[in-house]
Amino acid sequence: MRRQQEMRLDERYVPYLQMAGLYHLVRLNDRWFRLDEPLVSAFVERWRPETHTFHMPFGECTITLQDVAYQLGLPVDGRYVSGCLTDFYVYIEGGRPAWGADEETVRRFARAYIMMLLGTQLFADKSSNRIHIRWLPFVARLEEMGGYSWGSAELAWLYRCMCRVANRHVVKWSGYNHGISEKGPRVQMARLRIDLLQARDFIWMPYSTPDVLQVVHPEVLEPRHTMLWRCVTSLIYFAVVEWHQVDRVLPQFGGVQPPPHPTLNIDFLMSKDGRGDWETRADHVLRFDVVDDSGPSQEFLAWWHQHGKRFLSPEVYLGDPRGIPIPVEATQRGAG
């Protein structure tokens, strides 16, 4: 199905977008965002598919369901986004699709708008001006769309895209070869700025300030959603199954990070469909002490300094920060 380059939001679509749980995503279109491509490239260099985390000089961080909820206002709780067109007969009424000629014009256009939104913003790919027909069964029943976990589906797709890019381009830890690109020096500068970061420079909990809480979509703060932010579980988007490994980034939720468990067996995980894990995800919510001074523990930093690949820039640019000792606050961090 071809998609138009631009499709303007009509106010008459709003009730249907709210019904589908996507209205707060649409509101982002009212603002212009600048993409810093060199900075994104520098972060992709640090993405590790086996942990689904960015490996930083001071430890690990990642994009979580909490980020998706706060940034996009998408529901996290609900059914996983999957299915196939062999089930499409369920949505046929009287021998024709549920959006037949008797449907109001606005409702039909709202469905088209939602398909464009899903295909071009939430789950964009390289299909140019086409939208996949996998969305037809979803828009056929708009009143049910709000019951899906669009947040987890979006994060699963983002993880998969990050892993594909990392596996394709990051041949070794020295990163991309941007020497032939005009953006090369900017990538090198962004890489160096990340290399020189220390734990005290990193804002682990950017959403805890009152000014953020005043503008966030209130539904994302409901306990049924916030509980799942700390859940180690599968993320499902049709055939894409990725894992939400927040046990490796406890400081992002106010905890103290101990040395992590061994990395997961990605080949094994990719062979699973993940649906069993999804149904029992509430049983895998992490429980840990929330402290005022969240961050990596002394034990973690000692382990990370020994095993982690902390720096990607050439040594000549670094000024050798390797001699920086483990900060004193790390020895005092935690409930004890």
Domain edges within the chain = 35-81+148-333
Helix then strand then coil, % of the chain, to nearest 5? 50, 10, 40
User: In terms of DSSP bridges, do strands 240-244 and 92-93 run parallel, antiparallel, or are they unpaired?
Assistant: unpaired
Judged by DSSP in three states, 54 sits in strand
Return mean pLDDT, the chain.
Answer: 80
Within 10 A of 266 (CB to CB), how many other CB atoms are there? Answer: 15
Q: Give tens-digit pLDDT for 47-85.
A: 998 899 999 999 999 999 999 999 888 889 888 898 765
Note every long-range contact of 268-271, with CB atoms under 8 Å and residues 24 or more positions apart, other chains counting: 269/241, 269/243, 270/241
Res. 292: pLDDT tops 80: yes
Sign of CA pseudo-dihedral 310, 312, 313, 316: positive
d(C-alpha 188, C-alpha 186), whole Å: 5
Q: With bands split at pLDDT 50, 70 and 90, how would you rate the model's confidence at 266?
A: low
Res. 97: pLDDT tops 80: no
For residue 233, the cross-strand partners are: 244
The strands making up 53-56's β-sheet, listed across from edge to edge, are 47-48, 53-56, 59-61
pLDDT for res 271: 60
CB of 41 closer than 8 Å to CB of 177: no
Q: Is 302 exposed, middle or buried (0-12, 13-18, 19+ CB in 10 A)?
A: middle
Write the DSSP assignment of 276-321 as a string of letters.
HHHHTGGGGB------SS-EE-HHHHHHHHHHS----S-HHHHT-G
Q: With bands split at pLDDT 50, 70 and 90, how would you rate the model's confidence at 152?
A: very high
Q: Give tens-digit pLDDT for 17-35.
A: 999 989 888 877 666 677 8
d(C-alpha 70, C-alpha 216), whole Å: 6
pLDDT for res 297: 93
Higher pLDDT, 137 or 153: 153
Q: Which of 74, 56, 239 minimizes the C-alpha distance to 64?
A: 74
pTM for this predicted structure: 0.84
Contacts of 136 (CB under 8 A, 6+ apart): 85, 88, 91, 97, 115
Within 10 A of 90 (CB to CB), how many other CB atoms are there? Answer: 11
Rounded mean pLDDT, 266-281: 64
Judged by DSSP in three states, 249 sits in coil
pLDDT for res 295: 92
Judged by DSSP in three states, 92 sits in strand
Q: With bands split at pLDDT 50, 70 and 90, how would you rate the model's confidence at 173?
A: very low
pLDDT for res 315: 80
**Helix-helix angle 65-72:150-169, to 10 degrees:** 110
Q: Which of 85, 93, 79 minimizes the C-alpha distance to 134?
A: 85
pLDDT for res 158: 94
Res. 252: pLDDT tops 60: yes
Rounded mean pLDDT, 95-107: 53
Tokens of residue 206, six digits: 């950017």
Q: What are phi and psi of 24, to 5 degrees?
A: -70, -25
Within 10 A of 105 (CB to CB), how many other CB atoms are there? Answer: 8
**Helix-helix angle 37-45:184-195, to 10 degrees:** 50
d(C-alpha 139, C-alpha 77), whole Å: 19
